[in-house]
């Protein structure tokens, strides 16, 4: 197995990041630094260490969906002492999140120890849809929806287009379905900020064929076989 694939499958990082670790001299195989890209190892016999810590393939892969509440970060630890999603998911497996949701955004996030799976879901080339429900202050106009669908201009640069559909207006806030297939940092919030709209609440409700469903805030459960298959069958 290629060394970068091994590191990704072990949940250390993506293959691209693994290549960087290798060229930086942070990876050892059987006690010797390996810096050559494309290096191949015997995953059953060789001892691999990253930063002095031994890395092993998981005995089995775990795929979990979580309803992340507001007020949690998606990293394993936080230098500001904030709560993390790993405070909610109790498992002996070393998991990491597939993509992220920012501190004030809630909803569906996937957790796994399968680096290859994570890389596939997050890579832009697969264009896997992420659907959000944005609760926006005030009544929105059709002209605003048209701008969002085309792609708003932010600091002179046009952001990716989005699928936009109004859901409801209760006299105070408008609920809007927003579907994107890229994962730029704070993309949905930045889209609405660019047209001068304030998002009161943002929730992700779907990733590809996996829906949040009836999960309560802070609850999690294993992906069903058909949910996992739907993600692997995406473009």
| Whole-angstrom distance, CA of residue 213 vs CA of residue 116 | 25
- 96 closest CA partner among 82, 75, 77: 75
pTM, two decimals, is: 0.78
CB 12 within 8 A of CB 55: yes
Superfamily of domain 129-207: Alpha-L RNA-binding motif (3.30.70.1560)
The CATH class of the 63-125+210-232 domain is: alpha beta
- 167 token code pair: 């859901």
Domains of the chain, by residue range, sit at: 3-55, 63-125+210-232, 129-207
| Whole-angstrom distance, CA of residue 40 vs CA of residue 43 | 9
- Which pLDDT score is estimated for 155? 86
Asked whether this chain's domains 63-125+210-232 and 129-207 adopt the same fold, the reply is yes
**Which of 24, 42, 46, 102 is labelled catalytic?**
102
Question: pLDDT, tens digit, for every residue of 133-192?
Answer: 999 999 999 999 999 999 998 888 898 889 999 999 999 999 999 999 877 788 999 999
Is pLDDT larger for residue 46 or for residue 124? 46
16: left (phi over 0), alpha (psi -120 to 50) or beta: alpha
Give whole-number Cα distances, 11 to 14, 17, 92, 160, in Å: 8, 11, 14, 30
Catalytic residue list contains 102: yes
Alpha helices in 35-186 (DSSP H): 115-122, 142-150
């Amino acid at each position: 197995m290629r060394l970068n694939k091994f590191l990704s499958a072990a949940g250390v990082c993506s293959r691209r990041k693994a290549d960087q670790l290798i060229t930086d001299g942070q990876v050892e195989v059987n006690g010797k630094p390996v810096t050559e890209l494309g290096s191949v190892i015997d995953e059953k016999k060789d001892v691999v260490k990253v930063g002095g810590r031994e890395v092993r393939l998981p005995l089995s892969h775990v795929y979990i969906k979580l309803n992340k509440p507001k007020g949690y970060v998606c990293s394993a630890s936080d230098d500001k002492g904030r709560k993390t999603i790993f405070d909610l998911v109790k498992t002996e497996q070393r998991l990491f999140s597939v993509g992220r949701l920012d501190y004030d955004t809630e909803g569906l996030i996937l957790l796994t120890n399968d680096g290859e799976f994570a890389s596939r879901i997050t890579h832009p080339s697969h264009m896997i849809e992420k659907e959000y429900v944005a609760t926006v202050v005030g009544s929105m106009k059709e002209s605003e929806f048209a701008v969002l669908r085309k792609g708003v201009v932010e600091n002179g640069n046009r952001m990716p287009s989005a699928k936009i559909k109004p859901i409801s207006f209760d006299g105070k806030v408008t609920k809007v379905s927003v579907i994107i297939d890229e994962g730029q940092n704070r993309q949905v919030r930045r889209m609405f900020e660019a047209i001068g709209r304030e998002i009161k609440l943002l929730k992700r409700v779907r990733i590809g064929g996996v829906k949040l469903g009836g999960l309560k805030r802070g609850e999690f459960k294993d992906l069903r076989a058909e949910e996992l298959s739907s993600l692997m069958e995406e473009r």
